[in-house]
Structure 1
C-alpha cells in the first residue's frame, strides 16, 4: 500500500466525490484504515481485513475520525492476536453493512430492492449470522410459496448476502449453497383491449402518483422501475424524448425514446406537481424525496379492485405494448428498440450503425397513442385537454 498523508477532518471535509462508483482514501497514520467515498457524497470508514475483504466501521461524521481510527486499531489488533471473531455479528448489523456496500457499488434501484427484500422477508433481527441454518432460511422462503417468482428473487438476494458474509468471515458456509430455484414459467399474458381500457380508467381514479405511473407504463411500454425512478433531467421537453441512463436500465444501456403528446403532458404535469416536494424524482417515495416511489403492493391491490379484470401484473402492460406495436405493423426492430431489448441490435450494429432511429420510433409512438385515444375515448382525450 503506497504512502498516504494522515487523515484529518479538514481532509475529509475537502475530499472530492468521484463522478461514479466509489473511491478510497487511505490513512497514512494507520495501515489498512481508510474512508470510502461514493458519488453521492457518503463517506464510510473501513478497515481492510485481507485481500479484498473490508469491514465498514461507520459513516462520517456520525462517527468521528478519532473514534473510527480507535475502532480500526482494536479490530486490527484482535485480528493479529487471533481474537477477531466477526462471526459474532448479528443479522441486523451484518445486513446494514451489506446494504451500505450495495449502495456504494450498485445502482440505486438495486439497493432499494435488496433492502426491501432482506428486511421484509428475513426478519432475523439480533440472531447471529453464523447461527442461521438452511432450515431457518427455508422456513422464511416457504411463506412465499404462493408467489414463486417473489420466492426466487428473495432466495437470490439472500444467497448473495450470505456469499458476501463469507468473504467478510462472518460465517463459513452459505445456508443457500444448494438451494434450487423453482422453475420459472414464462408469462404470456397480454391485456385485451377491454382490459387495457379498464386499467387506464382505474388508474385515473387512484389518488396520488401511482395512477400516473401506470398510465405512463401504458403510454411508453417501459419497465415499472424505470418510470418510477424518472428524474427531471431525463425528460427533454424541447426534444420530446426521455433518456434513461445505463445505471437505470436492465441491460445497462442508455435508452433514449420519444414520447407522444399524451405522455409529454403527463410528464410536464408531474414536473410542476406539488407532490414532488422539490424532489429530483418525478415520483418520489412518500417517506423520502431522495428515493423513488416504492408503494407497489398496496397501490396495485387498489388498482385491481377498480379494474376488476383477471389476474395480471404491471409487467404485462409492457408485453401488451410490445404486442400491439406488432398489431399496428410497426417494424419489429423499431418495436424492440422502443422497449430497449438488448437483442434489438447486434454487436456489429452497435459498432457501425450510429443512426438513432428516433424518427421511426416517434412515428411508432404516434401510432400507439392514436390507437389508445380511440380505445379509451374520452378517457384519453382528457390527457390532451388544454
Structure 2
C-alpha cells in the first residue's frame, strides 16, 4: 500500500484529528514552518519524527516520541535541537552509534558471538556445531580477546589493530593463525550486523596463510616397517595398525565402540555426531580382512587405554614409533593418503568415487545432490582392494589377496 505525504502545520490537536486515507498504510505530515519536523501515522499509532542530514551525509530518520503521549510543543523543541545539530555538521544518529560502540568492548562482542555460535544463530551457520567445534571456537575466541584487549572498545578496532595482532601470532602454527584471524573477522562482522561498526576492518587485512597442503604418503617399505614395529607398541600399536588397514580419521578410530561394530556384516557404523565425522551424516564403512582381524571381538571401546577408556595418542608414543621403525616425517592422518595412493598405483581398475566414500569424503556437485545411496557394496570393493595391496606389502595372507593371486 502507498505512503501519503501532506504538508500542514503540526499542532497539539493534530494527532487526534488525523486518520489514514483510504488505501494507504502510512501517512506522513510535514510541518510547514519547521523543515524536517513530521508526524508519521500508520495502522498501529503515530509518532513525532525528524528527517535531516549533514552535508554529504546520509538521510536520517529519528523518532522523537509517541505522539499519543508526547505533547506537540515538546516534540517541536526536540526537532529544533536536532535541526541545529545537523546544521552544525553533527549527525546525532552517528554520534549515538559511536557512543554505543564505545560502550561495547571486545569481550562483550565476543560473548555475544560465542552465544550465537553455540546456538547455530550466526548468519552463515547452517547447523548447530558439535561440542568439539564449540570448544575449539571458544579457545580461538579467548586468544582473539587477548590479542585485541578485552576492554578495548569495538569502535576503536582498525585494520592496523588487526595487523599488529597478527604480529603476536608468529609463534603459532599457520593453521592456528588462520583460525584466530577467522574468529576476529566473524566477531567484527557481527558488530557490523548489530550496527556497532559501519564496516568490517578485517576486510582490509589479508588473512594469514594456512597450513600447506600435505603430500606425504608412506612407501610400501615404510608401511611394512611401521606395521612390524607396532608389535612393540602395545595398545597404541594396535590402533596404528587399524588406521593403516582402515584409514578413517584418528578420532573416529580412537572412539570406536564395539556396539558400533557389526561383526556379521564386517563393517563399522559411524554416527552423524561422532567426533571426526565432518559430513554430519551416518556412515556404514566395510572392513577388509586385515582391519577386521585387528578389531576382533570384545566389549567397550575397541581401542581401550591403560589409564582411561580410550588409548592415548601421545606425541611420546608417536616419537617412539618413529624411532623404532626408522620412518619419520609423517602423521597418522597421512595413512589415509597412503591407502588411496598405493591402491591407485597397484590396482588397475578402481572406483575412485567409492574409495572417496570409504574415506568418508562427501560427494559434491550433481552426485552429491542426486546420488543418495550409501554404496556399501562399492565401498566394500574399495576396502578389499586396499586389503589386497596391504596384504602383499606386510606379507599377510587374507582371503582377498589369495583370491587375487589365484586369478593372477
TM-score bucket of the superposed structures, by smaller chain: 0.5 to 0.7
TM value normalised by structure 2: 0.53
Shift of 1:320: 0.9
Q: Which moved more, 1:310-319 or 1:160-169?
A: 160-169
* 1:333 matched to 2:359: no
| Aligned equivalents of 2:238, 2:245: Cα separation in 1 | 10
The answer for unaligned runs of 5 or more in structure 1 is 1-81, 381-386
- Partner residue of 2:284 out of 231, 256, 259: 256
8 Å CA contact 1:98–1:161 kept in 2: the answer is no
| Equivalences for residues 78-97 of structure 1 within 5 A | 85=103, 87=105, 89=107
| Aligned equivalents of 1:295, 1:93: Cα separation in 2 | 32
Look up the match of 2:226. 199
| Aligned equivalents of 1:171, 1:206: Cα separation in 2 | 56
| Aligned equivalents of 1:296, 1:162: Cα separation in 2 | 37
8 Å CA contact 1:283–1:293 kept in 2: the answer is yes
Look up the match of 1:128. 150
Shift of 1:142: 0.7
> Are the structure 2 counterparts of residues 117 and 183 from structure 1 closer, same or farther at C-alpha, using a change threshold of 3 Å?
closer
| Aligned equivalents of 1:91, 1:101: Cα separation in 2 | 15
* 1:106 matched to 2:129: yes
The answer for unaligned runs of 5 or more in structure 2 is 1-99, 122-126, 399-408
Look up the match of 1:363. 381
Shift of 1:319: 0.9
> Are the structure 2 counterparts of residues 96 and 152 from structure 1 closer, same or farther at C-alpha, using a change threshold of 3 Å?
closer
> Are the structure 2 counterparts of residues 126 and 358 from structure 1 closer, same or farther at C-alpha, using a change threshold of 3 Å?
closer
| Aligned equivalents of 1:149, 1:227: Cα separation in 2 | 23
Q: Which moved more, 1:170-179 or 1:238-247?
A: 170-179
> Are the structure 2 counterparts of residues 188 and 179 from structure 1 closer, same or farther at C-alpha, using a change threshold of 3 Å?
same
8 Å CA contact 2:255–2:303 kept in 1: the answer is yes
| Aligned equivalents of 1:283, 1:90: Cα separation in 2 | 42
- Partner residue of 1:373 out of 391, 399, 403: 391
Look up the match of 2:406. none
> Are the structure 2 counterparts of residues 251 and 105 from structure 1 closer, same or farther at C-alpha, using a change threshold of 3 Å?
closer
| Aligned equivalents of 1:219, 1:112: Cα separation in 2 | 31
Look up the match of 1:188. 215
8 Å CA contact 1:88–1:128 kept in 2: the answer is yes
> Are the structure 2 counterparts of residues 349 and 184 from structure 1 closer, same or farther at C-alpha, using a change threshold of 3 Å?
closer
Look up the match of 1:3. none
| Aligned equivalents of 1:125, 1:182: Cα separation in 2 | 18
CA RMSD of aligned residues (A): 4.6
* 1:321 matched to 2:335: no
Look up the match of 1:351. 370
Give the SS at the match of 2:280. Answer: coil
- Partner residue of 2:262 out of 223, 226, 236: 236
| Equivalences for residues 148-159 of structure 1 within 5 A | 148-157=174-183, 159=185
Look up the match of 1:138. 166
| Aligned equivalents of 2:132, 2:119: Cα separation in 1 | 14
8 Å CA contact 1:109–1:225 kept in 2: the answer is no
| Aligned equivalents of 1:359, 1:242: Cα separation in 2 | 14
| Aligned equivalents of 1:185, 1:243: Cα separation in 2 | 32
TM value normalised by structure 1: 0.56
8 Å CA contact 2:256–2:303 kept in 1: the answer is yes
8 Å CA contact 2:177–2:210 kept in 1: the answer is no
> Are the structure 2 counterparts of residues 138 and 323 from structure 1 closer, same or farther at C-alpha, using a change threshold of 3 Å?
same
| Equivalences for residues 18-97 of structure 1 within 5 A | 85=103, 87=105, 89=107
